[in-house]
Amino acid sequence: METKSGRSVAEPAGRMLAWVEASAEGDKEATQRILDYFRDDIERLSGFLRMPREEAVQTLTLELIELVRTVRTRRSPAAAGCAEEKAAYAAEDAAPKPKTKSG
């Protein structure tokens, strides 16, 4: 993902994977986090579709939700159910975020 200044910012792969797994299990909060993460990309890409922007945003959002809900991860069943790992990601998400200058 890119910030408004155009710099690339990557979400830790493990955290994103945890959100995808939780979303696939019906966790609405995880789904919202994924949507929030890709919000800027959806807005930018909606300008390339030949339909009203609001409809394009809605279409891309729905497609992303459907994709996330049907994805199968490559993790082993033991790793996917690891309570310590999920707790660690939850703790990271709950931690206050450092403030950054926007450019």
Q: How do residues 34-83 score in pLDDT, each as one tens digit?
A: 999 999 999 999 999 999 999 999 999 999 999 988 887 666 454 445 55
Structural domain contains residue 60: yes
Structural domain contains residue 31: yes
What is the C-alpha separation between 31 and 20, in angstroms, rounded? Answer: 7
- Cβ 47 vs Cβ 53: under 8 Å: yes
Domain hosting residue 73, numbered range: 13-87
Total domains in the chain come to: 1
Structural domain contains residue 45: yes
Structural domain contains residue 94: no
Neighbours of 66 (CB within 10 A): 10
Structural domain contains residue 3: no
What's the predicted TM-score (pTM) here?
Answer: 0.59
Structural domain contains residue 50: yes
Structural domain contains residue 49: yes
